[in-house]
Amino acid sequence: MSKLLVENKDIAVPGEVLAEGMDNLPGPGTYRDGEKIRASGLGLVQIEGRAIKLINLSGKYIPKNGDTIIGKVEDITFSGWRIETNSAYSAMLSMKDATSDYIARGADLTQYYNLGDYVVCKIVNVTSQKLVDVSMKGPGLRGLKGGRVFSVNTHKVPRIIGKQGSMIGMIKNATDCRIIVGQNGWVWIDGEPDKELLAIKTIKKIEEESHLSGLTEQIKSFLEKETGKKIEEARGNYNGL
């Protein structure tokens, strides 16, 4: 007889038996071991019909094609820029992907992006060897002047951004800060000092409480209490930048 041994949103640890029998299917983050389905890591159980999968709660960012990330220029080469990505792999930004300007041979590339500069860029290629290419061509992709960058758990990024950017849009409205959340867990922020601190505090709160339902409502009333003003919920005006 088949038996499901966990509930939706349970925490599973490596090797833990999630189900017995052949009725359930092992999804991502799980594996079949004879009659059993086991967890192949630490994560949150998600049951979708007959499939059981595990959602990661921790761990470093792995570069993925199509992700918009915040990167930092760590080196300048003959053909472009090497970008730190808050992961085990750095990315290359080639001259042709950096700008539509004509760059003469031997030109000083620091005029475009200098060492230590932060950029919002998009991952356009990842090879099996994890060679990563990024591009600056696309709406909102650019170099970041001023501000600061801090890290958040990369697995909480979707919650911080919210549906169609509703969560981050609300924080921006409440604090008048400019904020960009990279899929790689780096967040860039610039604003008035006290507002900036409030925005960071709010983002850390979302990170801590990302599991709670009705989180948007809670964050809204938190921001209203802190700022003493009515917060408009932001809808559909956020493209990830």
Partner 1 sequence: MVYKKRIDDRGFEETRKIEAKVGVIPRADGSAYFKIGDTWAYAAVYGPRNLYPRFLQNPKKGILRCNYNMMPFSGSGERVRPGGSRRSKEISLVTEKALIPVLNLDEYPNSVVDVFIEFPQTNAGSRCAGICAASMALADAGLEMKDLVAAISVGRVDDKLLVDLDYAEEAYEDVPVADIPVAVLPNSDKISLLQMDGEISKDELKKLLELAKKTCKDIYEIQKKALKAKYVKEKVE
Partner 2 sequence: MYEEGLHNHIVKLLKAGVRLDGRKLLDYRKPIKVEYGVSKTAEGSARVHIENTDVMVGVKMEVGEPYPDMPDQGTIIVGAELTPLANPNFELGPPGIDAIELARVVDRGIRESKALDFKKLCIKKGEKVWLLLIDIIPINDDGNLIDASALAVLAALKDANFPKYDEKTEKIDYKEKTDKKVELTKEPIAVTVVKIGDSFIVDPTTEEEKVIDTRVTISTKKDGSLCAIQKGGDMPLTSDEIMQMVDIAIEKAKELREVL
Which residues here bind partner 1, judged by CB under 8 A?
9-11, 13-17, 31, 33, 38, 40-44, 56-60, 62, 87-90, 128-130, 155, 210-213
Least distance in angstroms from the C-beta of 89 to partner 2? 16
Residues 188-207 that bind partner 2 (CB under 8 A): 193-194, 197, 201
Smaller CB distance to partner 2: residue 24 or 154?
154
Per-residue binding letters, 117-136, with partner 2 (x by CB under 8 A):
xx------------------
Return the range that interacts with partner 2 (CB under 8 A); candidates 48-56, 115-123, 176-184, 226-234: 115-123
CA dist., res. 217 & res. 223, Å (int):
10
Could you tell me if 62 and 125 are in contact, meaning their C-beta atoms sit under 8 angstroms apart? no
SS3 219: helix
SS3 62: coil
Q: What are phi and psi of 46, to 5 degrees?
A: -130, 125
Smaller CB distance to partner 1: residue 8 or 239?
8
The CB density around residue 144, as the number of other CB atoms within 10 Å, is 19
Smaller CB distance to partner 1: residue 38 or 172?
38
Q: What is the DSSP track for 22-56?
A: SSSEE-TTEEEETTEEEESSSEEEEEETTEEEEEE
Q: Among 9, 96, 130, 148, which residue interacts with partner 2 (rule: CB under 8 A)? A: 148
Q: Among 146, 225, 228, 230, which residue interacts with partner 2 (rule: CB under 8 A)? A: 146
Could you tell me if 201 and 177 are in contact, meaning their C-beta atoms sit under 8 angstroms apart? no
Residues of this chain that interact with partner 2 (CB under 8 A) are 115-118, 146-148, 193-194, 197, 201
